[in-house]
Amino acid sequence: ARGYNITLLPGDGIGPEVVAVAKDALSVAGSKEGFELRFQEMLMGGAALDAVGVPLPDETLAAARKSDAILLGAIGGYKWDNNEKHLKPETGLLSIRAGLGVFANLRPATVLPQLVDASTLKKEVAEGVDIMVVRELTGGIYFGKPRGFGTNDKGEEIGFNTELYAVSEIDRIARVAFEVARKRGGKLCSVDKANVLEASMLWRKRVSAIASEYPDVELSHMYVDNAAMQLVRNPKQFDTIVTNNIFGDILSDEASMITGSIGMLPSASVGESGPGLFEPIHGSAPDIAGQDKANPLATILSAAMLLKYGLGLESAAKRIELGTYILLARHWLDASEWERKS
Ligand code: NAD
Ligand code: IPM
Ligand code: MN
């Protein structure tokens, strides 16, 4: 039988809880479809800090690189919040994304008919929403230099970061987004802050230039503040969104709530070559960790994205999607979200 090597990075907080469920889903899909998945669990984030003193051990990155795909739970927690930057779980996450070169992060937000009431938006606003956020993942203010702490002319302490994009970085994420939009509704909205930021001015110029390669895709541009508003005013106007690292981080959390829970949004991070990294968009949720309340759907659906985008196993991915959408969503929303909120 065909076999694939999967690196599991459970991480911290609810990470191990949701990865365990997704691993089972993968195994079942594998046995039904006649392929074997070999799992290797590695340390990452706070768990790695506690065990070996760094948030991304070399062995973890090496194992990840050698595998066919990587499934990550979540990292972070109160315990490590005041660590120096190089000893933060979050630094490990950014390092593995950069180390794998996974510059394109696909974050779909889909409102399922069965779960339309889970949205905090009115039914007529939420129903039918199907958005794909394409987030640039290895550039921008997360990685731009100079960055750091220092003092200004007045001797006052400062912290600073740099929002920076090179043409090649914009062009490649734009092409991914146009390809994605072409296979979806054929509409791409590029979100930026080109009225203020130079990095966004270049972003808009390059996305517009790349558009000529995709005459079948309808391109529009929107400022990020307006986009944040439009997402809750009328989310159905969006098909595919492409945006930079930090705006994509924020807008995807916002888009998740249209679907009813951040616990339902998966993601796929892919590069030009090498294995993809698949993870829920949510964090380690330390407030509910260890209480069996975490919604595992985001991670299960990330496993489906792993099969589809990472291994090209579309029918196995469909199996997970269909099987879990209807059954688990209702169950877990009842068990965790609703109970918690009432
Ligand atoms: P969070 O996403 O962990 O939690 C935000 C809220 O959503 C919390 O109330 C939490 O209980 C809830 N929530 C999240 N996932 C859920 C799920 N699957 N089911 C039910 N409820 C869920 O964000 P935060 O609280 O801002 O961050 C907590 C920690 O996670 C921080 O250390 C942060 O850096 C880290 N973080 C990691 C990742 C990642 O690993 N990719 C992503 C975001 C945040
Ligand atoms: C996410 C997270 C991460 C990010 C943090 C934990 C570094 O919020 O995956 O969305 O900002 O990318
Ligand atoms: Mn985030």
pLDDT of 132-183, one tens digit each? Answer: 999 999 999 999 999 999 999 999 999 999 999 999 999 999 999 999 999 9
Statement to judge: residues 236 and 126 lie in one domain = yes
Statement to judge: residues 167 and 266 lie in one domain = no
In this structure, is residue 78 part of a structural domain?
Answer: yes
CB neighbours of residue 133 within 10 Å: 30
Statement to judge: residues 236 and 266 lie in one domain = no
For residue 6, which amino acid is it?
A: I
Question: Residue 326: what pLDDT?
Answer: 59
Statement to judge: residues 57 and 88 lie in one domain = yes
CB of 289 within 6 A of ligand 1: the answer is no
Instruction: Write the residue with the smallest CA distance to atom 1 of ligand 2.
Output: 281
Statement to judge: residues 282 and 316 lie in one domain = yes
In this structure, is residue 128 part of a structural domain?
Answer: yes
Q: Which of 225, 287, 292, 334 is catalytic?
A: 225
Q: Is 193 a catalytic residue?
A: yes
Q: 103 in helix, strand or coil? A: coil
Statement to judge: residues 98 and 12 lie in one domain = yes
In this structure, is residue 7 part of a structural domain?
Answer: yes
The alpha carbon of 338 and the centre of ligand 1 are apart by a number of angstroms equal to 17
Cβ pair 67, 40 in contact under 8 A: yes
Question: Residue 328: what pLDDT?
Answer: 54
CATH number at 151 reads 3.40.718.10
pLDDT grade, residue 11 (50/70/90)?
very high
CB of 169 within 6 A of ligand 2: the answer is no
The alpha carbon of 282 and the centre of ligand 3 are apart by a number of angstroms equal to 6
Question: Is pLDDT above 90 for 112?
Answer: no
In this structure, is residue 57 part of a structural domain?
Answer: yes
**pLDDT tens profile 242-255:** 999 999 999 999 99
Question: Residue 329: what pLDDT?
Answer: 55
Q: 141 in helix, strand or coil? A: helix
Statement to judge: residues 70 and 28 lie in one domain = yes
Among 135, 108, 102, CA closest to 244: 135
**pLDDT tens profile 263-320:** 989 999 999 999 999 999 999 999 999 999 999 999 999 999 999 999 999 999 999 9
Sign of the dihedral through C-alpha 51, 54, 55, 58: negative
Q: Which of 68, 236, 253, 318 is catalytic?
A: 253
Statement to judge: residues 68 and 79 lie in one domain = yes
Domain extent, residue 171, equals 120-259
In this structure, is residue 111 part of a structural domain?
Answer: no
CB of 281 within 6 A of ligand 2: the answer is yes
Statement to judge: residues 216 and 152 lie in one domain = yes
In this structure, is residue 114 part of a structural domain?
Answer: no
Q: Which of 259, 288, 312 is the last residue of a domain?
A: 259
Statement to judge: residues 132 and 34 lie in one domain = no
Q: Which of 23, 165, 192, 193 is catalytic?
A: 193
Q: Which of 259, 289, 314 is the last residue of a domain?
A: 259
Question: Residue 338: what pLDDT?
Answer: 45
Statement to judge: residues 250 and 286 lie in one domain = no
- Whether the complex's predicted ipTM is more than 0.85 is answered with yes
In this structure, is residue 294 part of a structural domain?
Answer: yes
CB of 17 within 6 A of ligand 1: the answer is no
Bridge-based pairing state of the strands 130-136 and 240-243: parallel
Enter the pTM of the model.
Answer: 0.95
In this structure, is residue 243 part of a structural domain?
Answer: yes
Cβ pair 274, 236 in contact under 8 A: no
Question: Residue 105: what pLDDT?
Answer: 98
Indicate which atom in ligand 2 lies nearest the CA of residue 89: 6
Statement to judge: residues 161 and 251 lie in one domain = yes
CB of 163 within 6 A of ligand 2: the answer is no
The alpha carbon of 90 and the centre of ligand 3 are apart by a number of angstroms equal to 11
Among 243, 213, 214, CA closest to 231: 243
CB of 285 within 6 A of ligand 1: the answer is yes
Instruction: Write the residue with the smallest CA distance to atom 8 of ligand 2.
Output: 249
Number of domains observed in the structure of the chain: 2
CB neighbours of residue 206 within 10 Å: 20
How far is Cα 317 from Cα 307, in angstroms, rounded to an integer? Answer: 5
Q: Which of 204, 233, 259 is the last residue of a domain?
A: 259
- Radius of gyration over every alpha carbon of the chain, rounded to an integer in angstroms: 20
